[in-house]
Structure 1
Amino acid sequence: MSLFWRIFALNAVVLGSATALLLWAPVTVSVPVVLTEAVILVGGLAVMLVANAALLRLGLAPLDRVTKLMTTVDLLRPGQRLPASGGGEIAKLIRTFNAMLERLERERATSSARVLLAQEAERRRIAQELHDEVGQSMTAILLGLKRAADDAPAPVRKQLHEVQEITRESLDEVRRLVRRLRPGVLDDLGLVSALTSLTQDFATHTGLRISRRFDADLPALEPETELVLYRVAQESLTNAARHADAERVAVALRRTDDSVVLAVTDDGCGIKAPREGAGIRGMRERALLIGGSLEITPAPRAGTQVQLTAPVSGKQP
């Protein structure tokens, strides 16, 4: 039944019921109208309006559900759909809306993948330039300072040693930035070694007490999946250090039947902001890139838990 005939039928039911009551009920209208009759007629009109409103609300309820989903749908949380059964214009509208959501989710996933891949390529390029250009130049400066300090008189030698230390600390910072931009250990030694190096680096520079728990029988993963797991762990540790006011963080990596689950749990102040920032939305986009799911929930005792479930594709050993 189309929307027009649905509304027509609802109004016909109300008006037909009112006509039947007037035909068989002992109600008459005098001229001039008596107060009692006026009260009865106004009361009947009110009943008809209430019944008509209730029936219309019931008949148009699917449209309310579509409107509500339109205002709350988030393409970073795919799979939100409305049931559409039967025929008619409303069911067709719901099926069209569901198809539009599927198309938008595919397009969002495709565009996000292109952006993230371009971002990783740019990070790789910057890291390479920092390593080859800045790193080598600072190493040459260190060697020159050492030769100058060896030949300089004692007062100048002390100052040159101080400059050496500053340059060495700057070189260490450049190397740390290179590792954060493009973790070479991830390419060379794998995910577990990369996460171990990442947590050690964060513990050294932030003072966080970080515990690790990695399953020994982790399956082989695609390079894109390993990179997403690494980036989500990196962003979660950054949030714990900058925003959560945490002291302890637990990083766990475990295997399930058909997926690998990364969990980063801190003991900080928890999630307070109702809106997600760019960092969290970036993690969700990365999760969609590999067909995974990201959940951010309060930790069992206190703080926040970030959990990424990454599917394992292909035949595993």
Structure 2
Amino acid sequence: MNSRDTHPQRNFPSAKDECATLAPHPSYDRPGSAYELAFKDESFLLRDDMRPIRLQLELLKPEKLLDEQGVHATIVMFGSARILPEDTARTRLAAAEADGDPGAIARARGQLAMSRYYEEARRFAQIATQACADRGRPIVIATGGGPGVMEAGNRGAYEVGGKSVGLNIVLPHEQYPNPYITPELCFRFHYFGLRKMHFLMRSIALVCFPGGYGTLDELFETLTLIQTGKSRRRPILLFGRDFWTRLINIDLLLETGMISPGDEQLFQYVETAEEAWAVLSQQPELAASAGA
């Protein structure tokens, strides 16, 4: 039984209440003083030797708030921050063609070609969010919270009235949260490791779109954890067979013994949002409630 059930009045003030009623002490409330409460003392908490406490806080804050919001299962979407919405890509191509710069035109055409992944990610998030709601499954989309494919995932969920998670990271060139994340589920991390841990703690599936170093880092950490048995197996879908097979030579890894036979089956390729959802909808976490 919770102590609050038997004692409606607190025996001790909460830390929040204590901070609100602190009396000023001009002789000690000054820079360099040790008088500040430890949990309010930013200069103390940011010391190098307090890193273990900061790691614990980055583990606990999302954990507690996600639990309070009822988020216990997610479909995680990874992919490049550089992939544009189709309309934006078309506008950039038109501007490049008007300027007549061959290099700019080539880059803009490449961006337009890749923009299909933004639209597939957006549609996948719409389909998955709506289907989970229809089946009575509180499974939400989770992304890295930034632009590109991440924005597309949060946007798709938002457009059908669903919640979605954004796990942002502090970068030298600041990543700003996209506007489609549910505010109560928008987090910011300092430590990449804890951010990646939170991606996987609640995930029932990973849907990975084309991306660069960051996307590859997230994908291969997931594959490594599953391959080594550190994490349970779950579906990993790679959007765009042509992109992934040109980027990663799985056959070479098998031929040289760098991975074991069967490791190539830890993921599968898909091309469309509908195909991806058809695969995931057969998973136990989702198929079990198909008649709900």
TM-score normalized with structure 2 length = 0.24
Which structure has the greater CA radius of gyration? 1
The structure with the largest helix share of the pair is 1
TM-score normalized with structure 1 length = 0.22
Q: Which has the higher contact order (CA 8 A, sep 6+)?
A: 2
